[in-house]
Amino acid sequence: MGTTAKKEKYTYRDRELDWLRFNERVLQEAADKENPVLERLRFLAIFSSNLDEFFKVRISKLRQLKKVKRNIRKPLGLRPNKLLNTLLTEIDQQQQRFGNIFRGEILPELNENNIQLLSLEHYTEKQKFDLKEFFKQSVASKLTIIDSKDVSSDSLEEGALYIMARTKSSNKLLFVLVPTTEIGRFVEVPAEEGKQVYTYLEDVLKLNADLIFPEMEIAALFNIKISKDAELYLDDEWNGDWIELIYNSLSKRQKGQPTRLLYEQGMPKELQRKLRKRLELGKIDMLEGGRRHNFSDFMSLVDGINNAALKFKPFPPLKSLKFESAKSIFDLIAKKDRLLHFPYQDFRYIEDWLSEAATDAKVTTIHISLYRIAKKSRLTSALLEALDNGKQVTIFVEAKARFDEANNIRWGRRFEEKGAKVFYSFPNVKVHSKILHIERLEHGKPVGYAYIGTGNFNSKTAKVYCDHGLFTADEKITGDLAKVFRVLKREMLKPKLKRLLISPFNTRSSFENLIQREILNAENNKPASITAKMNSLEDKQMINCLYKASNAGVKIKLLIRGFCCLVPGIKGQSENIQVFSIVDRFLEHARVFHFHNNGEEELYMGSADWMTRNLDKRIEVITPILDEDIFAQLKDILNIQLNDNVKARIIGSESSNDYVKASPEGEKVRSQYEIYEYLKRF
């Protein structure tokens, strides 16, 4: 980018605060009475799960910054105490709204539909008898009880639900792990025909406190839950087998620094103090929650209730006419680039292609990067079959995919045992790209085929994540992708690229040049516009480029699901920038970038957001869209999303989350539904 004589003073949003704005959008969906009641309950579960991760990852970071000496923090503009207090205040307000939605709206509507969630104080005598029998037969043998003399923040499992009991005579504390992993959070209670009645496992335990503590008189029972830092606390010691270091240190996650102790509403202050002292926590670590913790468990309740009228109408994956009619997917790709859209279209076509490759005598090598591996899938089975059939299979496994490290490494070891060449993470770089390269011997010459996606090779997440996947045999793209895998195999340090944008090599500079070209066009009174869709926008250098483009007159529209540190609509900074966010039944996950280029439009898609980590600290792959039909298809989908006036919010300069409203005479456009209908043509 060009330099300027003076340094502009731009404003930015705080990442953590804007992340809360994103989670507020999830809460808006829980509050939306147009959504079916069980889906509203699911959104509350998603909100809760998101917030848990926020405490484990983002709040823990602020906690670490608090330890940095003030004379170091001050020049860097770091004020973790002030930000932490602001965040906790806003989280408390969101939690209040959460409780009002759950108790005041969702529970009554469930009751109206003959679905009842019973709490302990509402059990009938018959229900008490049934639940005592259930406890004796199915729960009692699965309990873990920790005495106060043995308890510490280290000994409590991260994210697990506990009941803390206080004895009447000795004021002793005892902790019972609620065995939701073995039994499930919700217990179905026998009910009259036509009704579904459930209760909470922790209430079943409280009902049976006399059996859990047969020789003690219990004075009080309270639910608690501890959240801990998600970091692994790995030493910066990269000698030897560092994958073993990661694997062995997974247990340390349970011993990470506490970031939040949630306790049940109504716990007396003296008992709070005793608990805090026992667990060696600070006052800021203690947060009063509602009566129920681990609300993410409600996801399983929603899934388990078979009532189609109370859920979104099904969107069965669409069949692709071309893939369905193809005798060989290799022949299909050789003729023309192909594009699939998940979850609208079926993920099994990727699995079909790998299954074909596994048995195709012409296939010689398969290279794939796996970021989040499903515990069991046709894709992994196809890779194992390819190994059985003598194919050379090279797999890059990201060992640092947060919360999936153990599963990824287990799969890596299994692939190694079957004869695959398995490469793991670089010490300071994550491999976030979703890429597959297959080489086939055709007419005596090796021919490359490639898949480049915006989402993981995971059939489970492909049912709910909105992503795109490109299949191509373009020689320049497949040649570039082969070089990426050479980098991953440590055979090449820096690839010379012809088509692809690869982080951390040329992605940042390529995007800056594309933006600069729009600036020059605008300055020369030519049409200039940028449309970019991503999960999050945080990198200040990229934001500054967009601010400069806005000031030059470039029209910019951003579709950003998560947090956005760019402030739109500010005169002299971003008056030509609009920011939209879509939160609906599926998770918007694709990254797509469109540049007007004075009518010679260019379109890119891939795995990278405009975040510093994606541009500089991860292996990411962005591909240009070269096929005219696919270009038009992807552009159409972008335009449908930009016209959403049902689930899109326009993000204002004050971080507002106002829904885009349809004009009285205009048609309602719910983009995810419109895209599903649109793709029926393909």
Q: What is the pLDDT confidence band of residue 370, given thresholds at 50, 70 and 90?
A: confident
**Domain match, 469 and 520 both:** no
The pLDDT value given to residue 319: 96
Distance (Å, whole) CA 438 – CA 514: 30
Rounded mean pLDDT, 291-311: 94
Q: Name beta bridge partners: 658.
A: 650
**Pick from 498, 523, 549: which residue ends a domain?**
498
Q: Is the pLDDT of residue 237 over 60?
A: no
Q: Is the pLDDT of residue 232 over 50?
A: no
**More confident: 405 or 266:** 266
3-state secondary structure of 619: strand
3-state secondary structure of 627: coil
Distance (Å, whole) CA 208 – CA 204: 6
The pLDDT value given to residue 169: 81
Percent of the chain with pLDDT over 90: 74
Q: What is the pLDDT confidence band of residue 143, given thresholds at 50, 70 and 90?
A: very high
Exposure string over 529-550, b if 16+ CB within 10 A, otherwise e: bbbbbbbbbbbeebbbbbbbbb
**Pick from 262, 282, 310: which residue ends a domain?**
310
The pLDDT value given to residue 7: 52
The pLDDT value given to residue 130: 95
The pLDDT value given to residue 60: 75
DSSP string, 562-588: S-B-B--S-TTTTTTEEEEEE-SSSEE
- Cis amide leading into 504 (omega within 30): yes
- The pLDDT tens digits for 595-604 are 999 999 999 9
**Pick from 282, 310, 338: which residue ends a domain?**
310
Q: What is the pLDDT confidence band of residue 66, given thresholds at 50, 70 and 90?
A: low
**Domain match, 347 and 257 both:** no
Q: Is the pLDDT of residue 1 over 70?
A: no
The pLDDT value given to residue 222: 95
The pLDDT value given to residue 266: 92
The pLDDT value given to residue 403: 54
**Domain match, 586 and 510 both:** yes
Report the CATH number that the domain containing residue 253 is assigned in CATH. 3.30.1840.10
Determine which of 297-301, 317-321, 413-417 has the lowest per-residue pLDDT on average: 413-417
Give the list of residues 6+ apart from residue 254 with CB closer than 8 angstroms, or none: 154, 157, 158, 228
Q: Is the pLDDT of residue 373 over 70?
A: yes
Distance (Å, whole) CA 365 – CA 634: 30
The number of distinct structural domains making up the chain is 3
Q: What is the pLDDT confidence band of residue 256, given thresholds at 50, 70 and 90?
A: low
* Torsion over CA: 505, 508, 509, 511 (sign): positive
What's the N-to-C CA distance of the chain in angstroms? 40
The pLDDT value given to residue 73: 54
Pair 282, 10: CB distance under 8 Å: no
Q: Is the pLDDT of residue 400 over 90?
A: no
Q: Active-site positions?
A: 432
What are residue 681's phi and psi, to 5 degrees?
A: -75, -15
Q: Which residue has the tokens 């989670």?
A: 23
The pLDDT value given to residue 4: 43
Q: Which two tokens stand for residue 345?
A: 């279209």
Question: Does 465 belong to an annotated binding site?
Answer: yes
Rounded mean pLDDT, 640-654: 95
Determine which of 202-211, 233-242, 332-341 has the lowest per-residue pLDDT on average: 233-242
**Domain match, 528 and 493 both:** no
> Does 5 fall in a domain?
no
Determine which of 48-62, 160-174, 249-263, 576-590 has the lowest per-residue pLDDT on average: 249-263
**Domain match, 386 and 247 both:** no
Strands 161-167 and 218-228: antiparallel
Report the CATH number that the domain containing residue 347 is assigned in CATH. 3.30.870.10
Give the list of residues 6+ apart from residue 530 with CB closer than 8 angstroms, or none: 515, 518, 546, 549, 554, 555, 556, 557, 593, 594, 595, 596
**Domain match, 447 and 562 both:** no
> Does 321 fall in a domain?
no
> Does 8 fall in a domain?
no
- The pLDDT tens digits for 23-46 are 999 999 999 999 999 999 999 999
> Does 2 fall in a domain?
no
**Domain match, 139 and 178 both:** yes
Distance (Å, whole) CA 336 – CA 104: 55
**Domain match, 456 and 348 both:** yes
What are residue 194's phi and psi, to 5 degrees?
A: 90, -5
> Does 411 fall in a domain?
yes
Continuous H helices in 472-598? 475-488, 507-523, 540-552
Helix pair angle (671-679, 628-642), 10° resolution: 150
What are residue 39's phi and psi, to 5 degrees?
A: -70, -35
Cα–Cα separations (whole angstroms), residue 268 to 116, 432, 495: 30, 47, 63
**More confident: 9 or 516:** 516
Determine which of 170-174, 434-438, 470-474 has the lowest per-residue pLDDT on average: 170-174
Cα–Cα separations (whole angstroms), residue 659 to 19, 567, 645, 647: 18, 18, 7, 7
Domain that holds residue 270: 15-310
Give the list of residues 6+ apart from residue 529 with CB closer than 8 angstroms, or none: 518, 554, 555, 556, 557, 595, 596
Rounded mean pLDDT, 472-484: 98
Q: What is the pLDDT confidence band of residue 233, given thresholds at 50, 70 and 90?
A: very low
Rounded mean pLDDT, 274-289: 87
Rounded mean pLDDT, 649-661: 91
Rounded mean pLDDT, 419-427: 83
- The pLDDT tens digits for 380-397 are 999 999 999 999 999 998
pTM of whole model > 0.85?
Answer: yes
Q: Is the pLDDT of residue 254 over 60?
A: no
**Domain match, 207 and 185 both:** yes
**Domain match, 56 and 201 both:** yes
Question: Does 561 belong to an annotated binding site?
Answer: yes
What are residue 171's phi and psi, to 5 degrees?
A: 60, 25
Determine which of 42-46, 140-144, 219-223, 228-232 has the lowest per-residue pLDDT on average: 228-232
> Does 251 fall in a domain?
yes
Pair 40, 32: CB distance under 8 Å: yes
Of 87, 202, 74, which Cα lies nearest the Cα of 135? 202
**Domain match, 652 and 568 both:** yes
Q: Strands, DSSP E only, in 231-295? A: 258-263, 286-288
The pLDDT value given to residue 283: 83
Rounded mean pLDDT, 257-279: 89
Question: Does 341 belong to an annotated binding site?
Answer: no
Q: Which residue has the tokens 């956005």?
A: 564
The pLDDT value given to residue 287: 85
What are residue 537's phi and psi, to 5 degrees?
A: -130, 115
> Does 345 fall in a domain?
yes
What are residue 499's phi and psi, to 5 degrees?
A: -125, -45
DSSP string, 420-454: -EEE--BTTBEE--EEEEEEEEETTEEEEEEEEES
- The pLDDT tens digits for 613-635 are 999 989 999 999 999 999 999 99
Rounded mean pLDDT, 364-370: 95
Q: Is the pLDDT of residue 242 over 60?
A: no
- The pLDDT tens digits for 163-195 are 999 998 888 899 999 999 999 999 999 988 889
The pLDDT value given to residue 430: 79
> Does 507 fall in a domain?
yes
Question: Does 596 belong to an annotated binding site?
Answer: no
**More confident: 150 or 119:** 119
- Return the H-helix or E-strand segment holding 560: strand 555-560
* DSSP-based helix, strand, coil % in the chain, nearest 5: 45, 25, 35
Distance (Å, whole) CA 627 – CA 603: 10
* Torsion over CA: 46, 560, 602, 668 (sign): positive
Question: Does 589 belong to an annotated binding site?
Answer: yes
Exposure string over 439-476, b if 16+ CB within 10 A, otherwise e: bbeeeeeebbbbbbbbbbbbbebbeebbbbbbbbbbee
Q: What is the pLDDT confidence band of residue 230, given thresholds at 50, 70 and 90?
A: low
The pLDDT value given to residue 149: 84
**Domain match, 490 and 588 both:** no
**More confident: 480 or 5:** 480
- The pLDDT tens digits for 519-560 are 999 999 999 999 999 999 999 999 999 999 999 999 999 999
Q: Is the pLDDT of residue 346 over 90?
A: yes
Q: Is the pLDDT of residue 71 over 70?
A: no
3-state secondary structure of 509: helix
Distance (Å, whole) CA 507 – CA 502: 5
**Taking all residues of the chain, what is their mean pLDDT, rounded to a whole number?**
90
